[in-house]
Amino acid sequence: MSEPAHVTSLRAEGPLILVAEDDRDTRELYQQFLRLSGFRTEQAHNGHQALDKAAELHPDLVVTDLALPGIDGFELSDRLRRGQTTSHIPVIAVSGYPFADVEERARKAGIRALLLKPCLPGDLVAEIRRVLGEPKQPRARPA
């Protein structure tokens, strides 16, 4: 199945990251940092909205909080993984869940990486690049 023309034309500009986070400040912080790091971004404030946007936009990767309202991050990842048009989209979860079984549940849901809050934006960018298979960005050397 081919992608809509607006999605294909956007892809030429760089990877599209969908940020699913119910806390507006955190969502906007990640979005701004990702844009400064060369990514295009979209936002979702709950799991249902994230699922709809992923099906419509076909992002290159989804970053999700695990404690989303509606559909939590575990179910979001599992539904994306099982979706006919979304099964290829990798998911990174960022969470403050203190439970011992989080890593196992994340693995079973198809989550490719789990970062614990508080998560620095630079750590998130590094993990996105790793999951997408992008080379690390060289650091500027002092003159």
CA max distance for the chain = 51
| CB-CB contact of 96 with 116 (8 Å) | yes
Instruction: Quickly state the pLDDT bin for 143 (edges 50, 70, 90).
Output: very low
In tens, the pLDDT along 82-127 reads: 999 999 999 999 988 766 788 889 999 999 999 988 888 899 999 9
The structural domain count of the chain equals 1
User: Domain of 44: which CATH number?
Assistant: 3.40.50.2300
The answer to whether position 67 is within a domain reads yes
**In the numeric block, which tokens belong to residue 95?**
């969470």
**Domain-located, residue 142:** no
Query: Is 43 inside any structural domain?
Result: yes
Of the candidates 66, 70, 76, 126, the one whose C-alpha atom is nearest the C-alpha of residue 96 is 66
In a domain, 95, yes or no: yes
Whether the per-residue pLDDT at 3 is higher than 60: the answer is no
Q: Does the residue 143 lie in any domain?
A: no
**If you average pLDDT over residues 53-76, what whole number do you get?**
96
Which residues form the domain of 51?
5-132
- Residue 81: what pLDDT? 96
Task: Tell whether 77 is covered by a domain.
Answer: yes
